[in-house]
Chains A and B, each alone.
Chain A
Amino acid sequence: QSALTQPASVSGSPGQSITISCTGTSSDVGNYNYVSWYQQHPGKAPKLMIYDVTNRPSGVPDRFSGSKSGNTASLTISGLQAEDEADYYCSSYTSSSTVVFGGGTKLTVL
């Protein structure tokens, strides 16, 4: 199972919006609405930010939103804040009853 494809890095200024893409195949992202997004600060465990493509867990700011079109899912962060600087990973359930993660995207807040 190949990793989902994410850009290595994205950046934005405080207050701006950014979008991180996550491209898979018809065996994972394209076939299931079970895409999740995780935020990971250096030296910390990942934190769930979005699940089932568009849903936010309790406590996650509504500045974070998710979407999907075909084999590509996206995470959008609006109103960027300094504390959003972190690594972001997508993941998807697969037709092999496994889960696959993306390679990760480093978000820099300028």
Chain B
Amino acid sequence: EVQLVESGGGLVKPGGSLRLSCAASGFIFRSYSMNWVRQAPGKGLEWVSSISSSSNYIYYTDSVKGRFTISRDNAKNSLFLQMNNLRVEDTAVYYCARVQHHLLVDVWGQGTTVTVSS
């Protein structure tokens, strides 16, 4: 069974940092690009970042450029999102997502909640 399990969310003060992790299983992780997608409370989905299978291509939405870093460890079937200088508006459920072609997401994790508040 294809599975993505996120962890690392929590409550952090503005300006703080968090590192999200996503453990993948049930498929050949190193063959797929991966996305992080977030959803603020009561709001819609927002693409955050993408990383290609071998980490050669990395993209970010404008609002997180310079603050977030996406990475992966294919040997450990893991995806990461390092989030620095967090803002209140970064509060959201963060989903790890498997990508098919052209950033199409076909599998989603259950999400991990990040709350940025003083």
Contacts and interface: CB of A to CB of B under 8 A. Distances in A.
Contact of B44 (A36, A48, A89, A93): A89
B44 A45 contact: no
Contact of B110 (A1, A45, A51, A91): A45
A34 B104 contact: yes
Interface residues of A, number: 24
Contact of A51 (B35, B47, B100): B100
A89 B107 CA distance: 15
Interface in B11-46: 35, 37, 44-46
Contact of B102 (A32, A46, A100): A32
Given A32-B102, A51-B104, A104 B45 contact: yes
B109 interface: yes
Contact of A102 (B44, B50, B61): B44
A86 to B, nearest CB: 13
Contact of B104 (A36, A47, A97, A104): A36
Contact of B45 (A1, A46, A57, A97): A46
B98 to A, nearest CB: 10
A27 B90 CA distance: 26
A103 interface: yes
Nearest to B99: A99
B106 A99 contact: no
A38 interface: yes
Interface of A: 1, 3, 32, 34, 36, 38, 45-48, 51-52, 57, 89, 91, 93, 97-104
6 contacts: A1-B61, A3-B44, A34-B103, A89-B44, A93-B103, A98-B61
6 smallest beta-carbon distances between A and B, as pairs: A99-B103, A45-B108, A93-B102, A104-B44, A34-B102, A101-B45
